[in-house]
């Protein structure tokens, strides 16, 4: 199961032309191409092709791929080399069920137990999310890093009212594991960028109204949408019952 890391990264401040700078550059471009769906799930990543496409050398390419392996975006197999992590229907289905069960319950507890400080943090997080452009200005196929940060902060604020540390830790971990799938729901699944503010307002309103049932129901639907958009893109998705 892929482990996804935060979507903001920075380049090292080193002398221009150094090996570290070249590695960071190819890492950033490869990472953006994976998240943007230009390097499709399961695609082989051959050194020769990468060196030509990204105008880099063997050392920088290998280091960039090693970093992406550690993030779960690339996998390496003996005798087969590197490839983009596959989009797995079974993993997506299992993760979706787990997230709906646990995150929805944590949200219920958060709505029940959150105080005025929790409300203020939630409203502030939504304010930032609503006013942050969702699409990267230099890459129309990828969500903007600033929006990803704001999105993570909003969902963290939603469940911050829950006092059960173990449950909130599990919920955050599951959300991090689903981050790549959420990115792909935009670049591969055609998720609407224009619905982002409305979708999150529909979570905010019942939470502030202390309607735990509606808030949990809407969060479950919010999580399930990612799976619905990506199932048709997964190579191991089961055939419909009436398929030949």
Residues of the chain above pLDDT 70, percent: 85
Residue with tokens 């401040």, as numbered in its chain: 13
Residue 19 or residue 62, greater confidence:
62
Separation between Cα atoms, residue 241 and residue 244, nearest integer Å: 9
CA 139 to chain centre: 16
Name the burial class of residue 138, with classes exposed (0-12), middle (13-18) and buried (19+) by CB atoms within 10 angstroms of its CB.
Answer: exposed
3-state SS assignment for residue 143: strand
Q: Tell me the domains of the chain and their CATH numbers.
A: 19-84 (1.10.10.10), 89-233 (1.20.120.530)
Q: Please name the residue that has the structure tokens 């109204």.
A: 209
Token couple for 156? 């963290």
pLDDT of residue 228: 86
Report which listed range, 125-134, 141-150, 206-215, is most confident. Answer: 206-215
Enter the tokens of residue 148. 């990803």
Angle between helices 165-177 and 89-113 (to 10 degrees): 140
- Spell 46-75 as b/e; 16+ CB within 10 A means b: eeeebeeebebeeebbebbbebbeebbbbb
What letters, b where the CB count within 10 A reaches 16 and e where it falls short, cover 210-242? Answer: eebeebbebbbebbebbbebbbebbeebeeeee
pLDDT band at 13 (very low <50, low <70, confident <90, very high): very low
CA–CA separation, 200 vs 78, rounded Å? 43
User: Which of the two residues, 139 and 218, has the higher pLDDT score?
Assistant: 218
R_g over Cα of the chain:
19
> Confidence band (pLDDT; 50, 70, 90) for 86?
confident
* DSSP state letter for 86: P
């Amino acid at each position: 199961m892929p482990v996804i890391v935060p979507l903001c990264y920075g380049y090292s401040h080193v002398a221009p032309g150094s090996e570290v700078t070249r590695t960071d550059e190819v890492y950033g471009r490869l990472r953006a191409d994976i998240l943007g769906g230009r390097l499709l799930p399961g695609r082989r990543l051959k050194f020769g092709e990468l060196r030509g496409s990204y105008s880099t050398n063997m050392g920088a390419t290998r280091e960039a791929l090693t970093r992406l392996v550690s993030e779960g975006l690339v996998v390496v197999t003996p005798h087969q080399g590197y490839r983009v992590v596959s989009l797995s229907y079974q993993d997506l289905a299992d993760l979706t069920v787990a997230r709906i069960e646990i995150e929805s319950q944590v949200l219920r507890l958060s709505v029940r137990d959150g105080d005025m400080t929790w409300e203020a943090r939630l409203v502030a997080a939504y304010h930032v999310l609503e006013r942050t452009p969702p699409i990267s200005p230099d890459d129309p196929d990828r969500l903007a890093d600033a929006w990803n940060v704001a999105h993570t902060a909003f969902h963290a604020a939603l469940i911050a009212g829950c006092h059960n540390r173990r449950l909130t830790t599990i919920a955050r971990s599951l959300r991090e594991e689903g981050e790549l799938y959420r990115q792909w729901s935009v670049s591969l699944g055609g998720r609407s960028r224009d619905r982002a503010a409305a979708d999150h307002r529909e979570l905010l309103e019942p939470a502030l109204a202390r309607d735990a049932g509606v808030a949990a129901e809407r969060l479950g639907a919010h999580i399930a949408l990612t799976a619905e958009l990506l199932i048709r893109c997964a190579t191991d998705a089961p055939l419909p019952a009436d398929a030949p």
